[in-house]
Amino acid sequence: MPPPNQTPSPDQPFALSTSREESSIPRADSEKKWVYPSEQMFWNAMLRKGWKWKDDDISQKDMYNIIRIHNQN
């Protein structure tokens, strides 16, 4: 698996956190636990999947909330 992309996109309108949170879910291949993506990693993944942030009215706080919801599952 390639290393996580924590680099802001060239035209990104605001800075995002690169902090990651460890989950309580154990990994099958070791004693370690899964690590949830950061706000920046989630943003970059959405761009790779074709999302166009300029088409939506999104704020830095929205990304914070999206990550909190995503990481609760």
pTM score: 0.81
DSSP calls for the chain: -PPP--SPPTT-SS-------EEEEEPTTSS-EEEPPPHHHHHHHHHHTT--GGGS---HHHHHHHHHHHTT-
Can you give the residue ranges of every domain in the chain?
33-70
Looking at residue 53, its pLDDT comes to 80
pLDDT digits (tens, 9 = 90+) for 19-71: 999 998 898 888 899 999 999 999 999 999 999 887 777 899 999 999 999 88
